[in-house]
Amino acid sequence: MARTLWTDDAGLPVTWDQTRLPFEQVVIALHDAEACARAIATMQVRGAPLIGAVGAWGLALALREAADDVALQSAFDRLAATRPTAVNLRWALARVRAAVLPLPVAERAARAHAEALRLCDEDAACNAAIGRHGQALLEPLRRDGRPLQLLTHCNAGRLATIDHGTALAPIYALHEAGVALHVWVDETRPRNQGASLTAWELGERGVPHTVIADNAGGQLMREGRVDAVIVGCDRVAINGDVANKIGTYLKALAARDNGIPFLVACPVSTIDPQAVDGSAIPIETRDPAELTRISGRDDQGRVVSVQLTPDGSPGLNPAFDVTPARLVSWLITEHGPCRPDASALRALPGLADPTRGPA
């Protein structure tokens, strides 16, 4: 499988439509800023690092149309408004804006294009490094001669990034090194990113896995069938509180109660130094229809959407939750494992990057 986002013959970005996976593999062109904004808002692309990369491309493409300061800020604002929780989006937009602002208007589009390409390359390299560091942390947790038993929530795999994934990067590294392992894949209601995306990409790579209901993890932990939990993140506050897909917090509580390491794969681009703690992280609330309906393939092979709840029952659909730092064993960054506290986070290279200023 190639990278999740690549460039076509015209040098412009294309990617998979993730709303069609796992049943259909449809490539979509992201050839202008509006296509990028729409793809993020409708979750054709999703996952914190990937929406950052698509945001960067969106800003670069907008500058091909108009590149003065007003046009730049307007495109920035449009793209930043697409999804609120993953800080990678604002980080990537701010990075492209900082790269072009000092330049004459005529030079900005080319510079932004180069910056978007570089950001994608760096994302792939960053995740490969997370893979190596995570592998070193996880391998010693294997016990009793049985395959290492890992549990993951949502999709923090290659589909959520340019390549490798964050939480799945160590899993791929272990698998490629020949370490026997098995992954429990939370289905991740309501959008089922685990059942439809994580299961799909693990299957593509031949990684042994089993999809479980979101509510099954606690019982598996009690039965000693989980050696570690590893998840990704959408925004980490400077005190180490972690925002990730709704349901992550419950897994962290169950892991703590059962003495199981709870690891969070965390590129430095996902740390928000301006969020003092998790209460400062905006939590996206999505359409309740994602909860009250479900889609899948029927026996005739058609992908259909059906209603789950009685007519008139309202739904509430918070898309993320906050796991307090005290429940997190390690953040695995591209620089290595890091304890979830302000002094360790502030010491990370790149955190003081001037492109991280407010929008």
Place of tokens 């999703």: 46
SS3 assignment, position 49: helix
Nearest alpha-carbon partner for 348 in 357, 337, 359, 358 = 337
Residues numbered 258 to 317 that lie near ligand MRU (CB under 6 A) are: none
Among positions 5, 40, 46, 93, the unique one binding ligand MRU when judged by CB under 6 A: 46
Which entry of 186, 234, 241, 321 is annotated as an active-site residue? 234
CA distance 52 to 4: 13
Which of positions 93-152 make contact with ligand MRU (CB under 6 A)?
A: none
Number of residues that bind ligand MRU (CB under 6 A): 18
Token pair listed for 142: 């294997």
Q: Which is nearer to ligand MRU, 323 or 329 (CB)?
A: 323
Q: How many whole angstroms separate alpha carbon 28 and alpha carbon 135?
A: 33
* Rounded distance between C-alpha atoms, residue 248 and residue 27, angstroms: 30
Binding mask 182-211 for ligand MRU (x = CB under 6 A): -----------x------------------
Sole binder of ligand MRU in the list 59, 120, 221, 319 (CB under 6 A): 319
The smaller minimum CB distance to ligand MRU, of residues 40 and 63, is found at: 40
Q: What are phi and psi of 326, to 5 degrees?
A: -65, -20
Q: C-beta of 345: minimal distance to ligand MRU in Å?
A: 17
13, 47, 247, 340: which one contacts ligand MRU (CB under 6 A)? 47
CA dist., res. 332 & res. 338, Å (int): 6
Q: Is 241 a catalytic residue?
A: no
3-state SS string for 77-135 = HHHHCCCCCCHHHHHHHHHHHHHHCCCCHHHHHHHHHHHHHHHHHHHHHHHHHHHHHHH
Contact mark string toward ligand MRU, 227..246, x via CB under 6 A: -----xxx---------xx-
Candidates 96, 160, 195, 338; binder of ligand MRU (CB under 6 A) is 160
Q: Where on the chain is the footprint of ligand MRU (CB under 6 A)?
A: 46-49, 86, 154, 156, 160-161, 165-166, 193, 232-234, 244-245, 319
Q: Which residues are catalytically annotated?
A: 234
